[in-house]
Amino acid sequence: MGGFKKFLLRGNLVDLAVAFVIGAAFAALVTGLVKDFITPLIGAIGGKADFAALTFTVNKSKFFYGDFLNLLISFLIVAAVIYFFVVVPFSKLLERFKPTPEEPTPVHDCPHCLSSIPQAASVCPFCTRDVIATPDASAHSTL
């Protein structure tokens, strides 16, 4: 499982190439699904079974907007699948393994050398002189 996690969290050219090939194959599959199943289903409800045949003409130029509708439906399905099955789970995975920020250690100034030292310190690490711990340090001390 650790190797799989490392694979998911690293990014390199081979992974990108594999993802591109799989994505292209998936897009072709979805395009076929739209052309062969979804478009006829919508056509059965709306009356036009083949969107690819939908055209309009302007000044003897033919515009095939039916093909565009098929591609638009394909794009929306691919985008939804990528978002809900790749982006959302991967974002949750990254949030799960995101390191939590540590709380900063409370500090105060050494009365002798004015260096910032932890409140619980009894000796200054810079000037090596004894310091009196502040009252809050005893409450947070783990020693």
- Burial group, residue 34, by CB count within 10 angstroms (0-12, 13-18, 19+): buried
Task: Calculate mean pLDDT across residues 89-110.
Answer: 84
The mean pLDDT of 27-54, rounded to a whole number, is 78
pLDDT band (50, 70, 90) for residue 7: low
Return the CATH number of 2-97, one of 1.25.40.10, 1.10.260.40, 1.10.1200.120, 3.30.870.10: 1.10.1200.120
Give the per-residue pLDDT at 13: 58
pLDDT in tens, 117-126: 888 888 998 8
d(CA 119, CA 140): 9
Residue 50 has pLDDT above 80, yes or no: no
List the chain domain ranges.
Answer: 2-97, 107-140
Percent above pLDDT 90 for the chain: 2
Q: How far from 46 is each of 33, 42, 43, 63, 96, CA to CA, in Å?
A: 18, 6, 5, 21, 46
Is it the case that residue 17 has pLDDT exceeding 70?
A: yes
Q: Residue 48 is which amino acid? A: K
**pLDDT band for position 8 (cuts 50, 70, 90):** low
> According to the model, what pLDDT value does residue 45 have?
79
